[in-house]
Amino acid sequence: MNWIKSFTGRSHEELREALDSDHARTSQERFNRFIGGGWIFILLLALVAVFWVSRPEQFGSAYNLTMLAVNAAILLVLSVGQTFVIISAGIDLSLGAVLVFSSVVSAQTMLWLSGEPAGTFGTTAGGWGVVAAGLAAGLVSGAAWGMLNGLLIAVARIPALIVTLGSLGMALGMAQILTGGVDVRAVPDRLVTEVGTGTLFGMPILVVIAGSVAIIAAIVLHLTRFGLHVFAVGSNAEAARRSGIRLTLRVISIYALSGMLAGLAATMSIARFSTTTINGHAMDNLSTISAVVLGGTSLFGGVGSIVGTVIGVFIPIVLLNGFVILGIPPFWQTVAMGAVLILAVWVDQLKRRTRQGS
Amino acid sequence: MSAVPLLEVQNVRRRFGHVQALDGVNFAVYPGEICALIGDNGAGKSTLIKILSGADRPDEGRILLEGREVSLDSPLSAQELGIATVYQDLALAPDLAASDNLFLGREITQSGVLGRLGFLNRREMRRRAAQQFARLGVNLRSPSVPVSALSGGQRQSVAIARAALWADKVIFMDEPTAALGVMQTGRVLDLIRHVRDQGIAVVLISHNMSQVIEIADRVEVLRLGRRVARIDRASATIEGLVAAMTSESALGESIK
């Protein structure tokens, strides 16, 4: 078998072939990496630069930058959960509705524990214990919806799109049943003033919470076994199953994590608006999906990052803010966002095609 | 070749509806050999491999590993006994690095508290992956390249290296070179020899008779759910193999 011997002996031809293909692949990979996550970061920097240069004293003011971060905080926490789900090749349409449900459960728990409204603005005098109980109630109810989603997807094998569309309706409906459709406005004063508008070393507490969630999520996703399994499930579920990964358990925990983060976002939302916002989260699912996809996470699963999602969350917020400051009718933000989203998915497709061609 | 087979199948039967896929089949693999399992379509090769890799269960018959009867209830229990399968559709996660794929499901974690929290020791995984690739003569630029960036032959090599890392007894390979070009086929066949030289038995399913003669130490032939011939490499010819697979007349002369 002469021709095989020549491989083990590393013929001149083989070495040249290896070198050539190596060279081709690294330059292609560099290109992939650039269009993979780099371009959207450059887009964000460009937006900030344009708005900053044209209205430095308004856009660049400390107040405006802080408000940008506060506006991003709640959406970021939701989008982090969505990132895990989408990397695992799933989708969670129920996030906004689960947020609403959890905020109702959380607010009612706090109201029940602290009694009737006492403050001037209809707030209650509940202490940190009451706030902690409310947070716990929000987290548990959010995680419960997530587990239900995960069970139906992994065990009953109903497509994630349908399951979470169904639980969207159920969670929203249940929230309206619990409240009779009227927002719970009596929430602990402490939660609103110290968490909702409070700061830590000059940083709004809500931003600190969202930032911590993003950092911890990035560590879990990229450095732990759980994170690797999330990628594996999204990349090739059958391979993951044959490798001995307990697929059902993983899928359930991914959706439970996403639901629990919606529960955390629910409490943050109460703190910020000092009321539940039953009718205020209809667009959350689409906002999170577009943020995640803008950030370079593939809708086909297996590829993605939290850093990308952070950038993806900021793009629509910076766009809206900049348009308002520049006096462009804010409706244009919706148009621009739609175009950017389509562009992002197109780039994702291109990236896949160039890689498959290699 | 030692007298006790590493893995032996005795009188296994498997029926799907009115199709008798395996009709009292016998089959044996010895340590450190490449055994080709051949047969025409419908001979029962795939069913036999499924049963031996734990993906399907026989209706009747015994499976012996090193002389002791075992039951292979699931792919996981087969893997725990040291039996792995390289599937035709590869079963790798294309977006993950080659090293991550090698250790998927059996990741190496950091020591101490971080390890208990599930933190991966990627450096160690990469180091051991590079070691495994070097031992088997698999040429990758780096173990951290995603599998999707590899050529078909390299992907097949990663899948085989993964199986060889976790199976210390038998590896089944279903048409491992079916989708590969001439050069890549050569490399994969070389890799299969390397795996055998590590002391692992390789069972190779192939329709390519010249390849079978080139690489197999021994050939077992199935026909209509039974073993109809066992042929040593020395006496194997393409005509002989084809005759054994397709005609009754070959039965008498080669079976003992």
**Domains recognised in chain A with CATH numbers:** 37-357 (1.10.3470)
pLDDT classification of A1: cutoffs 50, 70, 90? very low
Interface test with B, best of A3, A8, A243 (most B CBs within 10 A): A243
CA distance A334 to A354: 30
Average pLDDT over residues A202-229: 94
Q: Which residues of B touch A21 (CB under 8 A)?
A: 151
**Number of other residues whose CB lies within 10 A of the CB of residue A257:** 23
| Cβ partners under 8 Å of residue A351, min gap 6 | A32, A35, A36
Which residue from B120, B141, B214 is facing A224, i.e. has the nearest CB? B120
Chain-centroid distance of CA A245 in Å reads 25
Angle at B168 between CA B69 and CA A4, to 5 degrees: 125
**Number of other residues whose CB lies within 10 A of the CB of residue B24:** 14
Cβ distance A262 to A85 under 8 Å?
no
Residue B136 lies in a domain: no
ipTM score:
0.82
Closest Cα in chain B to A246 = B105
Which residue from B93, B105, B119 is facing A224, i.e. has the nearest CB? B119
Which residue from B100, B148, B186 is facing A7, i.e. has the nearest CB? B186
C-alpha distance from A3 to closest chain B C-alpha (Å): 8
Which of A185-199, A216-230, B155-169 has the least mean pLDDT?
Answer: A185-199
| DSSP designation for B174 | E
| DSSP designation for B235 | G
- The sign of the torsion formed by the CA atoms of A150, A153, A155, A156 equals positive
Q: Report how many Cβ contacts below 8 Å link chain A to chain B.
A: 84
Closest Cα in chain B to A298 = B95
Residue B70 lies in a domain: yes
| DSSP designation for A60 | T
CA distance A237 to B224: 34
Residue B105 lies in a domain: no
CA distance B91 to A240: 8
Please choose, from the candidates B92, B85, B91, B102, the residue with its C-alpha nearest in 3D space to the C-alpha of residue B203.
Answer: B85
- Half-sphere exposure in the Cβ direction for A255 (13 Å, CA): 28
CA distances B51 to A146, A321, B4, B25, B70, Å, are 37, 63, 21, 12, 12
CA distance A40 to A38: 6
Q: Classify residue B151 as left (phi > 0), alpha (psi -120 to 50) or beta.
A: beta
Query: Mean pLDDT, chain A, as a whole number?
Result: 85
> Could you give the dihedral angle defined by the CA atoms of residues B109, B115, B118 and B121, in that order, rounded to the nearest 10 degrees?
-30
Contact A231/B190, CB-based, under 8 Å?
no
The structure tokens listed for B180 are 């590969």
CA distance A271 to A116: 18
Q: Is the pLDDT of residue A195 over 80?
A: yes
Which of A253-267, B94-108, B233-247 has the least mean pLDDT?
Answer: B233-247
The structure tokens listed for B52 are 């031996």
The structure tokens listed for A80 are 């982090």
Please provide the DSSP assignment of B75-88 as one string.
HHHHHHTTEEEE-T
Say what the pLDDT of residue A244 is.
82
Most confident residue range from A50-59, A189-198, A248-257 = A248-257
Q: Which residues of A325-340 are buried (b: 16+ CB within 10 A; e: fewer)?
A: eeeeeeeebeebbeeb
Q: Is the pLDDT of residue A357 over 90?
A: no
Q: Classify residue B16 as left (phi > 0), alpha (psi -120 to 50) or beta.
A: beta
- SS3 readout for A81-107: HHHHHHHCCCCCCCHHHHHHHHHHHHH
Which residue from B93, B100, B214 is facing A1, i.e. has the nearest CB? B214
Interface test with A, best of B83, B92, B95, B122 (most A CBs within 10 A): B95
| Cβ partners under 8 Å of residue B256, min gap 6 | B230
CA distance A110 to A101: 14
What is the CATH classification number for the domain harbouring B54? 3.40.50.300
CA distances A353 to A33, A153, B40, B200, Å, are 14, 29, 37, 38
Closest Cα in chain B to A225 = B118
Sheet of strand B19-29, all strands in order from the earlier edge strand to the far edge: B19-29, B7-16, B60-65, B68-69
Residue B13 lies in a domain: yes
Q: Classify residue A47 as left (phi > 0), alpha (psi -120 to 50) or beta.
A: alpha
Most confident residue range from A1-10, A76-85, A291-300 = A76-85
Q: Looking at the 3D structure of chain B, how many domains does it have? A: 1
pLDDT classification of A33: cutoffs 50, 70, 90? low
Say what the pLDDT of residue B130 is.
92
Closest Cα in chain A to B214 = A1
* Strand, coil or helix: B142: coil
Say what the pLDDT of residue A31 is.
56
pLDDT classification of B252: cutoffs 50, 70, 90? very low
Contact A236/B93, CB-based, under 8 Å?
yes
Say what the pLDDT of residue A119 is.
53
CA distance B143 to B97: 7
| Cβ partners under 8 Å of residue A15, min gap 6 | none
Query: Mean pLDDT, chain B, as a whole number?
Result: 86
With 0-12 CB in 10 A as exposed, 13-18 as middle and 19+ as buried, what is A269? buried
Interface test with B, best of A27, A236, A300 (most B CBs within 10 A): A236
Residue B68 lies in a domain: yes
Which residue from A25, A226, A232 is facing B118, i.e. has the nearest CB? A226
Cβ distance A264 to A213 under 8 Å?
yes
Beta bridge partners of B8: B28, B64
Say what the pLDDT of residue B142 is.
87
Q: Which residues of A touch B189 (CB under 8 A)?
A: 4
Q: Which residues of B touch A297 (CB under 8 A)?
A: none
Of chain B, the percentage scoring pLDDT greater than 70 comes to 95
Structural domain range at position B21: 7-95+146-254
Closest Cα in chain A to B154 = A18
Of chain A, the percentage scoring pLDDT greater than 70 comes to 86
Interface test with A, best of B81, B96, B117 (most A CBs within 10 A): B96
CA distance A227 to B151: 26
Cβ distance A301 to A235 under 8 Å?
yes
The structure tokens listed for B54 are 């734990």
Average pLDDT over residues B25-29: 90
CA distances B93 to A10, A236, A336, B97, Å, are 29, 5, 35, 8
Say what the pLDDT of residue A15 is.
40
Average pLDDT over residues A176-188: 86
| DSSP designation for B149 | G
Residue B111 lies in a domain: no
Cβ distance A114 to A308 under 8 Å?
no
- Measured in degrees and rounded to the nearest 5, phi and psi for residue B218 equal -155, 155
Cβ distance A256 to A266 under 8 Å?
no
Most confident residue range from A11-20, A82-91, B29-38, B49-58 = A82-91
Residue B123 lies in a domain: no
Contact A244/B76, CB-based, under 8 Å?
yes
Which residue from A18, A25, A236 is facing B149, i.e. has the nearest CB? A25
Contact B107/A225, CB-based, under 8 Å?
yes
C-alpha distance from A306 to closest chain B C-alpha (Å): 17
Residue B227 lies in a domain: yes
CA distance B9 to A208: 63
Closest Cα in chain B to A239 = B91
Tell me the residue length of chain A: 358
Contact A240/B93, CB-based, under 8 Å?
yes
Please provide the DSSP assignment of A129-181 as one string.
HHHHHHHHHHHHHHHHHHHHHHHHHHTS---HHHHHHHHHHHHHHHHHHHHTT
pLDDT tens for B73-127 read: 887 888 889 998 887 776 899 999 999 999 998 889 998 888 888 899 999 999 9
* Strand, coil or helix: A337: helix
